[in-house]
């Protein structure tokens, strides 16, 4: 991973966003490609849905470890696994 | 004649997910003739993760048919993954097909993982660097194998199963910039070359559920983050008028 000028001394930049995307996809402990990173004035917000609460926590932990000076909040959800209550009919 | 098809993709199993789907899966014999899995069964494609898939999706009381996804290739253990799945009674398709005898008729399912490349007018071309040509040829080879598999099946109802998307319709919600990594028009062309009744795919987690190929074949994105339930159920057949396409009704009707 490349060191970023912006880390710790200014607002998050687009390279941080790109790096988080690659970190989450390429880190074997995460392997998530569907997480969206949104930059707010208050820091980074992570959106998306994953298959377990453990994965959600691991994503936030990895990003916080990599960018300790950037405030990170999570709106990541765990996908429901109930049986369907409706069907789709296709003639 | 009605054939009941349950489907989900992108379940990304590992030890932390085992057991989450099972209660809903136990209901399948009451509501479906078959379960189709649209790839990305695992996180990294390890043999250990495949055992989690076998535990969760094995022994369900209905046939289970799958294709693999890009995640299932990550650790280069595809032969081991396939063996674990097949030992659990799960049929793995890759350029192949299978015909099942269902109460409503013979269901043919042809499957490939597929690949990216993009959609008509905005796609990669078989031109330039070796890497680019290899990329596009991977897509066209996959689409050709899907077409061959579709044409090889003698059945009453033909379904195409892929991981990558055959149309852009079901990618709506994904950033336009990544469409070429999510699917390829050649898969849709293969589906349209045969009398396909339904095409199912996954891969596009932020996409949308419904689409149609240029030839009029219904396409459904059954990626788990899209359908937000354990699986979707489709009743396919000649039991309804055209006007009732996509009408939703209570389960079991």
pLDDT at A17: 84
**What phi-psi label fits residue A43: left (phi over 0), alpha (psi between -120 and 50 degrees) or beta?**
left
Q: pLDDT at position B245, please?
A: 43
Residues of A in contact with B11 (CB under 8 A): 51
Q: Residue B152 is encoded by which pair of tokens?
A: 């090889």
Tell me, what's the pLDDT at A29?
A: 83
B 15-44 residues with CB < 8 A to A: 16-17, 20-21, 23-24, 27, 31, 43-44
A9 in contact with chain B, both atoms CB, cutoff 8 A:
no
In B, residues 106-135, which contact A (CB 8 Å cutoff)? none
- What's the pLDDT at B161? 98
pLDDT category at A6 given cuts 50, 70, 90 is very low
Task: Say if A49 is an interface residue toward chain B (CB within 8 Å).
Answer: yes
Backbone angles phi and psi of B248, in degrees to 5: -95, 140
Q: Residues A71, A77, A78, A79: is their CA dihedral positive or negative? A: negative
Read off the DSSP letter of residue A13: -
From chain B, the residues in CB contact with A88 under 8 A are 220, 232-235, 246, 248
CB contact under 8 A, B250 and A28: no
CATH code of the domain occupying B2-244: 3.60.21.10
Domain ranges of chain B: 2-244
Lowest mean per-residue pLDDT among A4-13, A77-86, B73-82: A4-13
B44·A28 Cβ contact <8 A: yes
> What does B201-232 look like in DSSP terms, one character per residue?
E---TTS-SEEE-TT--EEEE-BHHHH-SS-E
Mean pLDDT by 10 residues, chain B (253 residues): 96 97 98 98 97 98 98 97 98 98 97 97 94 98 98 98 98 96 98 98 97 98 98 87 45 38
Q: Note the pLDDT of residue A70.
A: 85
* A77 contact B CB<8A: no
Which residues sit opposite B130 in a β-bridge? none
What sections of B120-174 are H helices per DSSP?
130-152
Helix, strand, or coil here: A38? Answer: strand
Assigned token pair, B38: 């649209």
**Cβ-nearest to B27 among A79, A83, A91:** A83
* Contact: B246, A86; criterion CB under 8 Å: no
Predicted pLDDT at A48: 93
Element (H, E) at B110: strand B105-112
Contact B240 A89 (CB under 8 A): yes
Chain B CB contacts of A48 under 8 Å are 205, 225
Residue A9 and residue A16: Cα distance in Å, rounded?
13
Can you give the pLDDT at residue A10?
A: 53
Q: What pLDDT, on a 0 to 100 scale, did the predictor assign at position B248?
A: 43
Smallest Cβ–Cβ distance between B249 and the set A31, A86, A90 belongs to: A86
Cβ of A26 under 8 Å from any chain B Cβ? no
Q: Is B12 on the interface with A (CB under 8 A)?
A: yes
């Amino acid at each position: 991973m490349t060191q970023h000028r912006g880390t710790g001394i200014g607002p998050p930049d687009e390279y941080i966003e790109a790096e988080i995307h690659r970190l989450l996809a390429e880190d074997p402990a995460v392997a998530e490609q569907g997480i969206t990173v949104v930059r707010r004035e208050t820091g980074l917000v992570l959106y998306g849905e994953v298959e377990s609460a453990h994965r959600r926590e691991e994503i936030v932990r990895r990003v916080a470890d990599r960018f300790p000076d950037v405030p990170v909040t999570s709106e990541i959800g765990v996908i429901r696994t109930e049986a369907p209550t409706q069907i789709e009919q296709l003639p | 004649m009605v054939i009941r098809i349950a489907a989900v993709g992108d379940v990304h199993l590992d030890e932390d997910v085992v057991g989450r789907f099972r209660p809903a899966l136990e209901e399948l014999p009451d509501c479906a003739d078959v379960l189709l899995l649209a790839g990305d069964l695992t996180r990294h494609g390890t043999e250990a993760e495949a055992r989690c898939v076998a535990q969760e999706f094995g022994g369900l009381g209905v046939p289970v048919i799958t294709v693999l996804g890009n995640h299932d290739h990550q650790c280069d253990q595809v032969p081991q993954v396939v063996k674990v799945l097949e030992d659990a009674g799960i049929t793995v398709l890759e350029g192949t097909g299978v015909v099942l005898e269902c109460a409503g008729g013979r269901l043919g399912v042809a499957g490939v993982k597929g690949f990216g490349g993009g959609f008509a007018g905005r796609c990669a071309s078989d031109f330039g660097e070796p890497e680019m040509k290899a990329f596009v040829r991977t897509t066209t080879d996959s689409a050709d194998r899907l077409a061959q598999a579709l044409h090889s099946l003698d059945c009453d109802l033909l379904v195409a199963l892929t991981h990558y998307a055959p149309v852009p319709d079901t990618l709506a919600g994904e950033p336009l910039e990544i469409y070429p990594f999510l699917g390829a028009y050649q898969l849709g062309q293969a589906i349209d070359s045969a009398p396909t009744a339904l095409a199912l795919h996954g891969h596009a987690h932020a996409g949308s559920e419904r689409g149609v190929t240029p030839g009029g074949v219904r396409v459904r994105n059954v990626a788990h983050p899209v359908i937000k339930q354990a699986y979707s159920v489709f009743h396919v057949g000649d039991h309804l008028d055209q006007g009732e396409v996509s009408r939703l009704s209570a389960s079991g009707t």
